[in-house]
Amino acid sequence: MSNYLSEKARGLIPYVAGIQPQEPGWIKLNTNENPYPPSPRVLEAISRADIGRLRLYPDGDSNTLCQQIATHLPIPAEYVFAANSSDEVLAFAFGGFFSGKANVMTPDISYGFYPVWAEMYDAGTNIMPLRADYTIDPHAYKGADGVILANPNAPTGIALSLDKIETIIRQNQDSVVIIDEAYIDFAAVESAVNLVETYENLLVIRTFSKSHSLAGLRVGYAVGQPHLIDGLQRMKNAFNSYPLDMLAQMAAAAAISDRAYWDETRSRIIQTREQTSYRLCELGYPSLPSQANFLFVRAERAKALYDFLLEHKILVRYWSKSRLDQFLRVTMGTDEEMEAFLSCVKQF
């Protein structure tokens, strides 16, 4: 390790993202990307862009995009904040609302970036074990300095109903509750966005990477009451006043305007998820009840199956940690990709 690193940098354990192969021929089911291309409106919007304007800085507040998001939800535009991926929004939120706090509650099995941001912003985490069935106990989350939950959770895919989310918010009204809804568009439960006008301590964070097929453009946003949005703006302007480039703003606004395409592709993914879950169960590999665009598949020889799939150029996600080491997380691909995956599992 470099002697030039600060003490803070030395102490960080970075998040490890899924493998991104550079050569062709792989079936990528490891990073929860959308298997379908973005809405045709995205290409139309980018093709109409005035490229000459790239010499200028973009709108630092992404006003047009925020208005389009507000119309889609629907919610007042002043309740929306956009930035360079939901990861960046989450980092701003940790810095703005959790820094220096001692008791930030989060599940023991959830998005692996949360403990990294907690360490970076000196937030003391209170790790809350999932129940034996991998569900969150909402009544355990009370009296916190902050709460951060993914709903549906990752990597389990299990979702909390809106009334259970509301229980957590009510039990922590003196602190900010963040609900990370990266996968909510694939769920049957209602979005916590429906509660933001009621609760001043609720911040909902979402992404264009999953249901809008824009992982390559890195666009995320938050929804909350204006005082929380002001806090995110403060963090953003202390870090990077222009986080979201002009083309990304245009593409995201076009994507969210095409509700019919969004509904068609997410419905296809949900159908593929249910079919794949059923067929895996027939092969002896049951999944947790997922409401995301992936399955958390139980396999007694999970590492061996992971290696076998890897040999056949099929990427899924495996963790060697306790309570995770007998599972594989499998992103939903196209029906053709899932047929290849299932055939390989059957061969194993």
Query: Does residue 145 carry a pLDDT above 70?
Result: yes
Rounded to an integer, the average pLDDT of 280-290 is: 98
> In this structure, are residues 69 and 221 in contact, taking their beta carbons and an 8 Å threshold?
yes
Query: Does residue 2 carry a pLDDT above 80?
Result: no
Neighbours of 1 (CB within 10 A): 6
Tokens 């606004």 belong to which residue?
A: 253
Which residue, 180, 174, 175, is CA-closest to 160? 180
Query: Does residue 296 carry a pLDDT above 70?
Result: yes
pLDDT tens per residue across span 205-218:
999 999 999 999 99
Report residue 21's pLDDT band, with 50, 70 and 90 as the boundaries: confident
Phi, psi values for residue 148, rounded to 5°:
-130, 120
Average model confidence (pLDDT) across the chain? 96
Tokens 């590492």 belong to which residue?
A: 303
57: helix, strand or coil: coil
Report residue 17's pLDDT band, with 50, 70 and 90 as the boundaries: confident
Q: Cα separation of 162 and 175, whole Å?
A: 19
pLDDT tens per residue across span 219-267:
999 999 999 999 999 999 999 999 999 999 999 999 999 999 999 999 9
Question: Two tokens at 57?
Answer: 């800085």
Query: Does residue 1 carry a pLDDT above 70?
Result: no
The residue that leads in pLDDT, 86 or 13, is: 86
